[in-house]
Amino acid sequence: MKIGVVREVGHLVIGSGLAGLSTALQLADAGEKVTVITKSNIDDCNTKLAQGGIACVWDDKDSFDEHIKDTLDAGGRLCKENIVRVIVEAGPEALKELIARGARFTTRGELGASSQRDEFDLGREGGHHKRRVLHAGDITGAEVERTLIAACRDNPDIEILEHHMAIDLITKRRIGIKDGEDQCLGVYVLDNKNNMVNTFLSLSTTVATGSPGKVYLYTSNDDIACGGGLAMCYRAGLPIANMEFIQFHPTILFHPQIKSFLISEAVRGEGAVLKCKDGQGGMVEFMDSYHPMKSLAPRDVVARAIDREMKRRGEDCVFLDIRHHSEETLKRRFPNIFGKCLEAGFNMSKDLIPVVPAEHYSCGGVLTDINGYTGVPGLYAVGEVACTGLHGANRLASNSLLEALVVPRFLAKHILENRDQLLEIRPDNLYPAWNCGNASNTDEMVVISHNWDEIRRFMWDYVGIFRTNRRLERAKARIQLLRSEIEKFYWDFLVCRDLLELRNIACVAEIIIDSAMSRKESRGLHYNADYQELNPELDYNDTIIQKKI
């Protein structure tokens, strides 16, 4: 491994999804210099995979109060209502800014409407009582990501460094500076292509690394989603909130050759019905037995219902039925999904679509305020890696892109307002560069792949949709042993991307397990068969996991 360098930059953003690029643009628009690092290509992120859209009050028939109510109802008495209101009410202005940057959303005219052709087509998804989801066909995330990448590349104040993976945060407390207030000074970064670890020093650091989805065996997430930002913040001593609330998307395409392809909730918003085999060669609806909203119930309800029906009936999947729409209509509304289903051998207008649940979204994360501020001067977290209190115990569909669009506006304002204070408390002494010590190259990559596979399997089996005390105890025993092995491996050998991702996955897995073991009830996305009822005494009580430094 080559000797790294020390670089001083203005503001550092870790991650290149909607939250990260929005933060970079907000700061650059204010005249600040920004460096964005991303561990793969700039468009390798979960944002690009988002299908449904952005939930936002746009129609005169809708209202902020109704959107807020739907969010609170889905969130299982754990949302922070003041945060929900601020984000929902800031949505329209943030969306207008995105449209001004060049994002194109589907209009009613594009779907064949003869009147009001220029109005946006508003979709409806699970948990929403009104149509309020702006979308770009069924590839909304790809359109949003395209727009933001172009805007960032066109901005001379934004530097983009691809194939740069953050390893650990540099805080005064972690490097032994005990005088005065703690502060984030920057981050150690692995330059994958040049095989060196560089030290980045920055006035502010924003963690926007997204999901820990690859902690689970089955997920809708991109391969980059290994929980790196969450693990870094935990190692730096920050409080991590509500990580027991892992959202499993109810409908991932069930096919042996096509992995992790999500069938958007918007398909059910357009009338698709969930069905299962009735044991006599026919099909039967089943969601009416679980929730008044039937197939449009909130995701936690639908995912558990599917899981239960599959296990009860001994089936490998359930089915979506949207055959009441014509092929022409489905091709216009869901071109990407229609094409992928056709590739798998299913014509949505004629065939049932086989689906299963898979890990999709984490409602918890690094505890922050509405500004993405972590409480450590100079350190912010935004997007899925953060926990603002918007989602509570269960995310309302398409609120994630809304949050990732809105919070960076507040975040940039907070950074600018505190800029002078950050300069005042910054230490004058030198910061330690990365030290490889006596580490050597490893010739046992099989250890990494084996541990990676084992963690993801027992997390799926023991800490998935359906949990019990015994399953959680088994998971805890396994992760303690594996984390000990992985940490020894980490200190003995030179770092590489696979090792760093394994280290992060193991860290986040234990946080999820500890969080799930701490909550002695069932609420929202966390269901424990040994505590099947919601405990009112735990309303609005966060689960906090924090490492002592």
SS (HEC) of 119-140: CECEECCCCCCCCCEECCCCCH
In a domain, 239, yes or no: no
Q: Taking residues 87-115, report their average pLDDT.
A: 92
Average pLDDT over residues 421-437: 82
- Is the pLDDT at 300 greater than 90? The verdict is no
Name the β-bridge partners of 171. 184
pLDDT surpasses 80 at 462: yes
**DSSP-assigned beta bridge partners for residue 200:** 7, 187
Question: Which range among 44-53, 174-183, 222-231 shows the weakest confidence by mean pLDDT?
Answer: 174-183
Instruction: Please say which residue of 357, 375, 400 terminates a domain.
Output: 357
Residue 197 falls inside a structural domain:
no
Provide the phi-psi class of 143: left if phi over 0, else alpha when psi is between -120 and 50, else beta. Answer: alpha
Residue 33 has pLDDT above 80, yes or no: yes
* Model confidence at 429: pLDDT above 90: no
Given a cut of 90, is residue 441 above it in pLDDT?
A: no
Distance between CA atoms of residues 549 and 540, nearest Å: 27
pLDDT above 90: percentage of residues in the chain: 81
Domain boundary among 357, 375, 394: 357
The Cα 524–Cα 75 span in angstroms is: 7
- What's the DSSP call for residue 39? S
| pLDDT exceeds cutoff 80 at 288 | yes
Q: What is the mean pLDDT of residues 266-278?
A: 93
Residue 440 has a pLDDT of: 77
d(CA 35, CA 399): 27
Q: Is the pLDDT of residue 227 over 90?
A: yes
Does 299 participate in catalysis according to the annotation?
A: yes
**Across 315-326, average pLDDT:** 95
* CATH code of residue 517: 1.20.58.100
Domain that holds residue 458: 445-545
Asked if residue 493 has pLDDT above 90, the reply is no
Q: Given a cut of 80, is residue 118 above it in pLDDT? A: no
**Burial profile 408-423: b = 16 or more Cβ within 10 angstroms, e = fewer:** bbbbbebbbebeeebe
Q: Provide, rounded to the nearest whole percent, the portion of the chain with pLDDT above 70.
A: 99
Looking at residue 434, its pLDDT comes to 87
Domain end among 337, 357, 377: 357
Residue 496 lies inside a defined structural domain of this protein: yes
Cα separation, 400 vs 50, in Å, equals 10
- Tokens linked to 389: 């209190």
Residue 64 falls inside a structural domain: no
Residue 500 lies inside a defined structural domain of this protein: yes
- The model's pLDDT over 503-522, given as tens digits with 9 standing for 90+, comes to 999 999 999 999 999 999 99
Res. 114: pLDDT tops 70: no
**Whether the model pTM is above 0.75:** yes
Residue 306 falls within a domain, yes or no? yes
Residue with the larger pLDDT of the pair 60 and 300 = 60
Q: For residue 2, what pLDDT band results from cuts at 50, 70 and 90? A: confident
Q: Quick one: average pLDDT of 12-33?
A: 98
Catalytic entry in 235, 268, 299, 333: 299
Q: Name the 3-class secondary structure at 493.
A: strand
Would 44 be classed as within a structural domain?
A: no
| CATH number of the domain where residue 308 is located | 3.90.700.10
pLDDT at 116: 66
Give a yes or no: residue 128 inside a domain: no
Confidence at residue 412, expressed as pLDDT on a 0 to 100 scale: 98
Q: Running DSSP on this structure, what letter comes out for residue 519?
A: -
Q: What is the mean pLDDT of residues 376-401?
A: 97
The mean of the pLDDT values for the chain is 94
Q: CA 382 → CA 15, 192, 210, 375, distances in Å?
A: 10, 24, 8, 13
Average pLDDT rounded to a whole number, residues 129-143 = 94
**Tens digit of each residue's pLDDT (9 = 90 or more) over 339-369:** 999 999 999 999 999 999 999 999 999 999 9
pLDDT of 10 above 90: yes
What's the total number of domains in the chain?
A: 2
pLDDT of residue 521: 98
DSSP 373: B
Confidence bin at 443 (pLDDT 50/70/90)? low
